[in-house]
Amino acid sequence: MPRGKGYRRSQAAKRRWAGERPLDVDFLPPSPDSMCTSFLIYVFPLIGRGTGKRRRVKEWDRSVSGKQHKLVVPAHSPEKKFVLLVGDSHLRPFADGTVGLSKGNLSFGIMSTPGASACHLRAELIHAVLPRTPDAVCILAPGNNLTTSSTHEVAGEEFRELLLSACQRCANVFVVDFVPRLTVAPELQEHMSREFHSVAQKMGIAYYSTFEHFPFSQLDLWVRDSVHLSDDDGMEILSKVLWDAAYKQLEVPAPKAKEAPRTPSPVPRTPPRLLVKEEVFAAPPFVSPPDPYVWMEMVKGKKVIFVDGCPIVLKECFIPLNPVLFSTSMLAAMDAVVPAQLPSPDSPAVPQDATVS
């Protein structure tokens, strides 16, 4: 049985509603590669495109890294310092000779590997055959890790391995930061630069920045691909940056002025110690008081007493008596207690009626 007009209208409404309904799909988080791709599409017109010019590049043979590679070593000059530059395609004009480096007292060798990241540069540096050991090795930080590394930490680890291999080839290693690009957000490039700088700083390797030399407002510094530098303006600035960094790294420090000989400080002398010796005086031999029963002799008005057969001269000492000070009764009482006349060997007893003279 045929359906009516109302049925057909309801079916048309369902079809319209189904076409406007959003799809039931779970979106996955964007990967780093997709982030870089979306950034190239939406942010690139905001920065601009390079307007500089560049000579046509030459094709090179591929090397152990699978990338095109070229190594140029200058003739030996004893009066010049030999510096080996290791980097990506930014060194191609130097290797081809289309752009010259500043001469002076430095001679530069070029090891260029276009499109190389840190792992590619490490492989080329390990297998490189050098006629002599360079005085210094300059690593141009690999800007290609901005697109080849999944995270900044992975890029930093690859960069650390590159620096370790460079230190095995030469004791004097320094780093020049990668050339900024117009195709990548400045914030991402600064983050990668800080990661590389942190790795080099932990290893005690000098790191020279380049961002202040390439302002994004000067579009004539880049060619139309907005990655490589123009031969006239951009490469001239890079040449000066590399030469200045090498000169600072190899600059011989001025000899230090000889210091005046220091007068040795006087040695503090210990003050003389005053030793006080206590003199012990021997006491004179004890002389017992004269025994009243020992015979004494008179020698010219002096008394001589013999002790153990040795004569000792005694000085006479007279104490004048003043009988006026004592009364007769007092003298009598004293004489009664202590007789004035003592017995002697000749007269053992003194008569009581003896008078005191």
- Helices 118-127 and 152-169 pack at an angle, to 10 degrees, of 10
The pLDDT value given to residue 270: 62
pLDDT 10s digits, 37-81: 333 333 444 467 889 998 888 899 999 999 999 999 988 888 899
- What is the residue whose two structure tokens read 């009764």? 329
pLDDT 10s digits, 271-308: 556 555 555 555 555 455 555 554 555 555 555 666 56
- Strand-by-strand arrangement of the 173-176 sheet: 70-72, 106-112, 81-87, 136-140, 173-176, 206-208
User: Where in the chain are the domains?
Assistant: 45-250
The pLDDT value given to residue 26: 36
Q: Average the pLDDT over 75-99 and give the result.
A: 92
Say yes or no to pLDDT of 88 above 90.
Answer: yes
Work out whether the CA dihedral 288, 291, 297, 301 comes out positive or negative.
positive
The pLDDT value given to residue 356: 45
CA 209 to CA 246: how far, in whole Å?
A: 13
Phi, psi of 171 (to 5 degrees): -80, -25
Class of the 45-250 domain? Answer: alpha beta
Considering only residues 2 and 13, tell me which one the structure prediction assigns the higher pLDDT.
Answer: 13
Say yes or no to pLDDT of 353 above 90.
Answer: no
The pLDDT value given to residue 278: 55
The pLDDT value given to residue 39: 38
pLDDT 10s digits, 106-165: 999 999 999 999 999 999 999 999 999 999 999 999 999 999 988 999 999 999 999 999
Query: Torsion angle of alpha carbons 213, 214, 216, 220, nearest 10°?
Result: 130
Percent of the chain residues topping a pLDDT of 90:
46
Say yes or no to pLDDT of 36 above 60.
Answer: no
Average pLDDT for the chain: 76
- Chain-centroid distance of CA 212 in Å reads 30
pLDDT 10s digits, 239-257: 999 999 999 998 744 444 4
Considering only residues 349 and 42, tell me which one the structure prediction assigns the higher pLDDT.
Answer: 349
Q: Average the pLDDT over 209-222 and give the result.
A: 93
